[in-house]
Amino acid sequence: MSELQLEQNLQAHFGFSTFRTGQKEIIEAVLKKQNVFAVLPTGTGKSICYQLPAMMSSGIVIVASPLLSLMTDQVKQLKATGFKKVAALNSMLSYQERETLIQQIDSYQLLYLSPEMLQSKRILTRIKSLKISLFVIDEAHCISQWGHEFRPDYLRIKQAHQLLNKPPLLALTATATPDVQQDILEALQIPNVKKFIYPMDKPNISFVVEQVDQVKEKEEKIAKIIRNYRVPTLIYFSSREEAARVASILQGKEHDRNIAYYHGGLDNQDRLLIQQQFMNKQLDVICCTNAFGMGINKKDIQLVIHYHFPSQIESFIQEIGRAGRNGQEAVSVTLFHEYDHIIPQRLLDTELPDIGVVKQMLKLIYHNDVSLNDLKEEFMLNVNGMEPHWRFFRYQLEKLNILEHEQFNITALPFHNALMILQETIEKRYRYKYNKLNEMLQWLHTTGCRRNKLFSHFQDHIQKPTNMCCDYCDFRWENWHPAIEQSNSSTQDWQTNLKEILYQGD
């Protein structure tokens, strides 16, 4: 395939005339049937690396992805561009929808699957009969025990890949420190893998961190910023209530900007509408939780404000990566108060099951001869129905061979050893998470160049910023002059509105 042809295909399918950094090299390697491991920063079009090959080659491209909403969003977006041979097979489908999809499975060129679906013998057998041109593991950092979002289910992907006779593999991630990268490669054991590691830093984003003495100051500061800089803006919160509350305060202060909130508690319809209003420039500012942004492909966001900071640098980098996607000048502002760390701390403390519960459950296994189902029921009652806790526990039991083929085997390990190992695992994980939070806090308190400090965990060399660097180096608000967006708001009667909507009288 000549260079020209690749670009023609890109133009035909996506309407872009040139590739972004990394895309072309990765796609070429993929088309040559090489095994590829790629780290591409968020917002640079990771998914095109397998979407374009899916459109160009015969056979089917399988994508394992842990993020359900991202899958469905991508399917929707691809369909909207006219590519219909795409589907997502996950637990969000009804029984009927799933059956229909499985029956027509050979009519797709691109198929997204959740890790759970890849555990199903029936689905695997069905897929095995197809010509698989590429097997993609998206968000590959989920494989690493030391990745910030370890998913036990994800480890089994390797077996699925083997069962499918090892088609060419593409493992992709946006955020992985060098040791996580190493861990992923070891876990997957891909032979002759070609590595593409691209720098995480975004030269077009400037960094500002401001400490406040009173929490209320945050609202005033934000109001002032969005009054002066009329650009598409995201404001991140760690709680739904705060996102909604501050959105309403800001709207009250700034009447001529259109502000809304978005979080996982809204129903599907409302979420869809808010996203599309933002895309359509009916909204300028969105107060959101991290539920926002995954599937949205808005290129003109120029300001990302953190009202709350996340619990690790990886998430922070992902979130600021929603800005400046066309390479235009963008600013990241983080506001913090000295007690803000309490919020992520509280979230961290509930991430793993309590050791007391673990002990109690182990006792049930060792002394009471329970079935797996009964144990799960009992466990869920004890952890307030937190499914991830159960998945963690179950995975650990399997790892220790206490659980094999859905049966308990207490001869694998004496009770006390099992308990000790589990306790150590949990403590280790907590230490790891606390470490991550500390990195984030250290960054906020850093007294040097923010850009260098932020990306130093990921790479040795930092690119030269294309605009102002950070508030330590050279950033001054008065030197930022983004192009002004006109907010369109209408207050007219319904008759006029209806006429406009239905194109009457124009």
Partner 1 sequence: MFECILLDSILKLNGERTVYNIYHLLTAKKSTQTIQDSNLFGLTNYFGIYNSLTRQAFNQEIQRLEYHQLITVNPDQQTVHISERGKMYYKKLREEQADYFHLNGEKFHQKADRFSKNLLLFIQTLTHIHRKNPRFIPIIEDVESQQFVKKVWNKQHELGTATILKYLYQDLTMILENFPDDHAAAFVDSLTSLKKVGLSRYQIAKKYYITTHDVYLSFMNIIHAICKAIETEDNFRFLPQLYPVHQTNKLLSDSTNQTFYYLKQGLSIDEIANVRNLKENTIKDHIVEIAYIYQELNWPAYITEQDYRLIREILKKLESKKLKDIKSLLPDSISYFQIKLVIALEGRNNVEENQYV
SS3 content of the chain, % helix, strand, coil (to 5): 45, 15, 40
State which amino acid sits at residue 379.
F
Instruction: Find the binder of partner 1 among 213, 256, 484, 503 (CB under 8 A).
Output: 503
- Residues forming beta bridges with residue 261, ordered by sequence position: 287
Min. distance of Cβ 87 from partner 1 in angstroms? 12
Q: According to the binding rule CB under 8 A, does residue 498 interact with partner 1?
A: yes
Q: Are 54 and 30 in contact (CB under 8 A)?
A: no
Contacting residue, 248, 409, 466, 467, with partner 1 by CB under 8 A? 248
Q: Is 165 in the site for partner 1 (CB under 8 A)?
A: no
Least distance (Å) between residue 122 CB and partner 1 = 23
- What is the rounded distance in angstroms from the CA atom of residue 398 to the CA atom of residue 409? 10
Q: How far is the CB of 255 from partner 1 (least distance, A)?
A: 13
Nearer to partner 1, 30 or 70 (CB): 70
Task: Give the interface size with partner 1 as a residue count (CB under 8 A).
Answer: 32
- Tell whether residue 478 is a contact of partner 1 (CB under 8 A): no
Query: Could you please report the per-residue DSSP string of 157-184?
Result: HHHHHHHTT---EEEEES---HHHHHHH
Per DSSP, 89 falls in state E
Structure tokens that stand for 381 in this block = 């009652």
DSSP track, 218-270: HHHHHHHHHHH--S-EEEE-S-HHHHHHHHHHHHHH-TTS-EEEE-TTS-HHH
Q: Which is nearer to partner 1, 342 or 498 (CB)?
A: 498
**12 interacts with partner 1 by CB under 8 A:** no
Strand partners, 336: 211
Q: Is 241 in the site for partner 1 (CB under 8 A)?
A: no
Asked whether 209 and 451 are in contact (CB, 8 A), the reply is: no
Q: Does residue 474 bind partner 1 (CB under 8 A)?
A: no
Q: Which is nearer to partner 1, 125 or 497 (CB)?
A: 497
Tell which one of 80, 91, 95, 192 touches partner 1 (CB under 8 A). 80
We find the least distance from the C-beta atom of residue 297 to partner 1, in angstroms, to be 10
Shortest Cβ 2–partner 1 spacing (Å): 29
487 binds partner 1 (CB under 8 A): no
**For the window 93-132, what string marks contact with partner 1 as x by the rule CB under 8 A?**
----x-----------------------------------
Interaction mask 257-286, partner 1, x per CB under 8 A? ---x-----xxxxx-xxx-xx-xx-x----
Residues 284-303 that bind partner 1 (CB under 8 A): none
d(CA 349, CA 337): 21
Residue 406 contacts partner 1 per CB under 8 A: no
Q: Is 504 in the site for partner 1 (CB under 8 A)?
A: yes
Inter-residue long-range contacts of 370-373, CB under 8 Å, 24+ positions, other chains counted: 370/408, 372/403, 372/406, 372/407, 372/408
**186 in contact with partner 1 (CB under 8 A):** no
Closest contact distance (angstroms) between CB of 68 and partner 1 is: 13
User: Using H for helix, E for strand and C for coil, what is the string for 364-404?
Assistant: HHHHHCCCHHHHHHHHHHHCCCCHHHHHHHHHHHHHCCCEE
> Is 98 or 156 the residue whose CB approaches partner 1 more closely?
98
The kind and range of the H/E element at 342 are: helix 342-349
Smallest gap, in angstroms, from Cβ of residue 281 to partner 1? 10
DSSP-derived 3-state class of residue 315: helix
Question: 262 is written with which tokens?
Answer: 């978005």
Contact of 135 with 167, CB cutoff 8 Å: yes
Question: Quick one: tokens of 66?
Answer: 């842990």
CB of 285 to partner 1, least distance (A): 13
Q: Does 431 bind partner 1 (CB under 8 A)?
A: no
Nearer to partner 1, 98 or 158 (CB): 98
**Smallest separation (angstroms) from partner 1 to the CB of 96:** 10
Q: Which residues bind partner 1 (CB under 8 A)?
A: 76-77, 80-82, 97, 248, 260, 266-270, 272-274, 276-277, 279-280, 282, 493-495, 497-504
